[in-house]
Structure 1
Amino acid sequence: MDFKIEYTWDGFPVRHEPVCVRLSPCEQGVKMEVSAPLFNDPPSPLGEPGKPFSELWNYEVVEAFFLNDTTKQYLEVELCPS
């Protein structure tokens, strides 16, 4: 399943190449691949790659939300370049 982010959260077209997100099945569950331009503004946080990091949304990230429509629980995934 492929997605392109071509608009900002408030409906304006992005002024760069779109962010591409691909979801595909794998042995462990779901694989998420992201292809996006890197602006490095601000630079990546100093946390350890692959580990939780508080307030990651303050950095350059791609976010995905997965909703369980039965329980209304959701999983938020934030990815930041390392």
Structure 2
Amino acid sequence: MTQDEPIMDGGGAADHDARVAGIVEQVKADLRLRPAEDSERTLRDRLGDAGIVLSDDELTRLNQEIQGGDGPAAAPPAWDAR
């Protein structure tokens, strides 16, 4: 498949908040599969890989959200028979 037309300005690029929210959801999902993993380390690594820099306060807030299970990723997967 080739690109034969120009991409619209910003096409495919998520804004900063959407990217951070996506990474938070990824880390929540990771921790459901590997609960012993260090959530803060995983969050920092994923943010760093994406080139996103946040303050320590924001990282702490996001890590607390991850630990608290806040949001849709905290629900058990559909295949979980609980």
TM-score range, shorter chain: under 0.3
Structure with the larger strand share: 1
Structure with the larger helix share: 2
TM-score scaled by length of structure 1: 0.25
Greater relative CO (CA pairs within 8 A, separation 6+): 2
TM-score scaled by length of structure 2: 0.25
